Copies of this chain bind each other. A is one copy, B any other.
């Protein structure tokens, strides 16, 4: 990485400013934490990780920042049914790119998968076009999740 910890890549700065937000230290560190993991972190997970780097952080700020990041499209918010939201960077160094999740109903394990993306994209394009037309609904995002039992739980 060509930037110091907490400094963040330059384009992030522009993105924030472009949306009328300031790229403050807490926000940079939250972005760093999200960039350096491929896990599905909860707000508290993020709070704890940020706290190691920037101990003055408050949980409230984490929630507020995540809301902004989701709204800016930099972060995806997921609900895997365990009562707490999970957050993932939508793009970045460790991002595995466009993917979806297998959610184990037994142990709650989450498996990322990127298979059949080509077929999926084809269907989605068709579907999005059709639905946009039929309902005049402007689609910005989609969610696909599979539920079932992982190898250890069946």
Contact = CB atoms under 8 A, between A and B. Distances in A.
Given A141-B146, A142-B144, A146-B131, A136 B151 contact: yes
Given A123-B116, A123-B120, A127-B120, A139 B135 contact: no
A115 B141 contact: no
A14 interface: no
Given A123-B123, A131-B115, A145-B142, A102 B150 contact: no
Given A119-B123, A119-B126, A137 B146 contact: yes
Contact of A102 (B102, B119, B135, B149): B135
Number of copies: 2
Interface residues of A, number: 37
Interface in A93-140: 102, 104-105, 111, 113, 115-116, 119-120, 123, 126-128, 130-131, 134-140
Interface of A: 77, 79, 81, 102, 104-105, 111, 113, 115-116, 119-120, 123, 126-128, 130-131, 134-151, 154
